[in-house]
Structures are given as C-alpha cells and as structure tokens.
Amino acid sequence: MLKILLALVFLTPLCFIQSMWWMVQCILFLIAFMFMFTTVMSNFFGNLSYFLGCDVLSFGLIILSFWICVLMITASESVLRFSAFSNFFLFMVMVLLILLYCTFSTTNLFMYYLFFESSLIPTLFLILGWGYQPERLQAGVYLLFYTLLASLPLLVGIFYLYGHSGTLFFPLLQAENWSQLLFYLCMILAFLVKMPMFLVHLWLPKAHVEAPVSGSMILAGVLLKLGGYGLLRVFKVLVLSGLAYNFVWIGISLVGGVLVSLICLRQTDLKALIAYSSVAHMGIVLGGLMTMTYWGFCGSFTLMIAHGLCSSGLFCLANICYERLGSRSLFINKGMMNFMPSMALWWFLLSSCNMAAPPSLNLLSEISLLNSLVGWSWVTMLMLAFLSFFSAAYTLYLYSYSQHGKIYSGIYACAMGYTREYLLLFLHWIPLNLLILSSEPLVLWM
C-alpha cells in the first residue's frame, strides 16, 4: 500500500512543470491499473504496510477515487485551455487523491478521522478557486461548517472509545455490550452529515451548483462515500446501540428520499437536479445500511460505487452542455437532441443507469437494498414504492426536458462533442455496466 502512496507523492512535483497536464493523467491511469492488480479479495486487511491496509471495502472505494480523479483531469480541460492556474489545479487534485487514498486505506480510526477531515480543504480550494458564481464563497462556508460542526463530537467519541477499549485498530475493535445514546450519536453524526442525510443535506446542492465540474465529480463520486464507509466501519462497535436506535434514521432517510425526489421534480437547474438526486440515492443507501443486515451492508457498498460513477457521469454531461451554451438552466438547455445529437445517447445511457435500469450496477444494489429494508419491516414498502417511482419520474424529467422540445432560439448551430468527452463518458459508463458481470466481490465481502 505504501508503494502506491509514494508513487502518488512523487507524482505531485510533475504538476508544476509546464505542459505536463496529460502526462499526469496518463501516469495516474497507470497507477490505478497497478493498484487494481495488487488486489485483496478478503474481508481481512491484506497488503499491510506502516499504517495502511486494504480489504474489499477499501479496495472498491480506492479504485473509485483513482478513477474519478483521473476523469476529473480529463473533464477539466477548460482549466488548461484558459490557463486558469492549471498547475495549481493539478496539484489540488493530486493532494485530494492522496488524502482520499489514505482515508480509505488507513487501519486506525483516529487516522481515518484525520484524513476524513483534511479532504475538506482541497475540495474547498477547488470550489473557491475554480467555481463559477460569486455565491461559491457562501457554498464553501456551508460545506466547511456543516462538516466541521458535526465532526467534533466524533473526535471526542474516538478518544472515549480509545480510553475504553485501548485500541483504535479496525480489526481489533469489537462490539461493546453496552448501549449509550450519547456515544452512539457522537460516533455517527459526522457520517450522517457527510452522507448527507435528509435534514442535514443543505450544504450539498449549494456546493454542487457552485463547484466546477471537477469539484462536482469528486463530491458526488467519492466524498459522499466517506460517510457510508465510516458508518460501515463504526457499526462494528455500535451493534447494540444500532439495534436500539437505528429505526429513527431509516425513517428519516426514506421519507427524506421521497421529499427530495419531489424537490427534484421542480428544479430548473441541471446541476441542482442531479445534486438533489444524489441526496435521494444516499438516503436509500443510509436506510439499507442502518438495517444492519447482510443484504443492507452489501447493497449500500455496491450502490455507493454505482452512484459514484453514474452521478459523476451526469455532472460531466451537464458541464458539456454548460460549456457550449453558457447556462445550466433547463429553459435554455431544451431540445439538445437537435443541437448535440450524439450526446443524446449518452444522456439516455447515464439517465437509465440513474434510475437503476438493467444491466447497471445500480440495479443489483437497489434490489439488495429493497430486500434488506422490506425484510427489516414491511412498513418501509410504502415509502420505497414512492421512492422508486419518483426516482424514475425525475430522471425521465431530466432527460426528456433537456433532450426533447423546441430548441432555444438563441442557438443557431449544431455542435459535436470532442473525442475527449466521448471517452470521458465511456469510462464512466463501461465500469458501471460491466461490474455487474463480476459482482461477487461486491456482495460476498462480509
């Protein structure tokens, strides 16, 4: 694990050499493939080095981080084209990748907290430095304060756990035979905000709408998964408390998912719509995870990876339209099938993945999550029916309103995508639909 970390650290100076943009991207691809072949397919930590280790849970999310970061560089070519501090931008992406790599592969709960928090800083720089509107300052403050405020109790909880059990090493943590509400809340609150759970989700649409395409991709692709990963790790300790109190979060996330789906149906901003759909998806992940069943854990892990690829791809598409038309409004992005006919296929493919059509990985994970929630209590069926229906409804709304209809009269041209953009969308879509062929690691890891 340390060799990959060293490779990433020694790659950072390349960011500051002139015209090394595509070189850095190619080397990152190479490192990602190297990591893919040093795989660990067990639920024990393997590949152990100084403070790093890797089990299946880490492996999937580290690969996702590599993939999304490489595609971020591909998508942000406009930063290079307009020379908008492209070297510093590359440096930020590299720092973020190193922090995410450490977050997912660390074997110590306190180190996890440290890297979990520090991944905020490069994200903040990406939003403040390369965002589009002046409101990005407010979005940055929202992001920072929501996450930091909820994370301070987690630090106290970690120290308490260390005092109580004498270790913070993940494999040595065991289920405590006491149920304490305060400790439970401390350990779990930071991850609920990061997920984000409905009621503490307001920072997410703001951050997405103001972020550049790379910021949106990393937010949707990886940073939302930090919460789910943290919950999967700490529920090892909180078994009894979880069985006692988890019904609250399941209720909130399912009802919240339906309400957010309704909010999606009245959005006029492409990015805001995709951002709110992320909240709805992470709601069902949270619900399945909180049932604390085998199906729920596997399904939530799988949906985290599927949603990372799918949502990131949709943000790329929204950005491709934004670069051509200078607007993200659905009133202007109408009839795009006339303007960019070849992109309509990609809109369709990624939208269908977003509403869990076969053969996407989303389908496998949503079936698994539905199983876990209905098995936990049949009452959840009601909300799940609404959630499934409305998620299809807002995805069709997104697709049909942007692709069909009368084209906006201010546009007098027809545009093709660049090869780079087709490659970018292809690399989002292919893993999303091929991973279902080899889904055993995703569902047999516990």
DSSP string, 112-143: HHHHHHHTHHHHHHHHHHH-SSTTHHHHHHHH
Residue that wins the pLDDT comparison between 299 and 38: 299
- pLDDT, residue 47, reads 86
Extract the tokens encoding 368. Answer: 């698994």
Residue 446 has pLDDT above 80, yes or no: no
Residues 370-397: tens digit of each pLDDT: 999 999 999 999 999 999 999 999 999 9
- Contact between 245 and 212 under an 8 Å Cβ cutoff? The reply is no
Over residues 103-132, the mean pLDDT reads 95
Encode pLDDT of 423-442 as tens digits.
999 999 999 999 999 888 88
Checking if the pLDDT of 232 tops 90, the result is yes
Mean per-residue pLDDT, 135-159: 94
Is the pLDDT at 312 greater than 90? The verdict is yes
50 or 184: whose pLDDT is higher? 184
Q: Omega of the bond prior to 13 within 30 degrees of 0, cis?
A: no
pLDDT at 329: 94
Scored b (16 or more CB within 10 A) or e, 61-97 reads bbbbbbbbbbbbbbbbbebbeeeeebbebbbbbbbbb
Number of domains in the chain: 1
Tell me what pLDDT residue 59 has. 92
**3-state SS, residue 416:** coil
Domain residues for 24? 1-443
Instruction: Please state, as a whole number, how many other Cβ atoms lie within 10 Å of the Cβ of residue 128.
Output: 17
Q: Is pLDDT at 176 greater than 90 in this prediction?
A: no
Name the strand (E) or helix (H) holding 431: helix 419-434
Question: pTM for this one?
Answer: 0.96
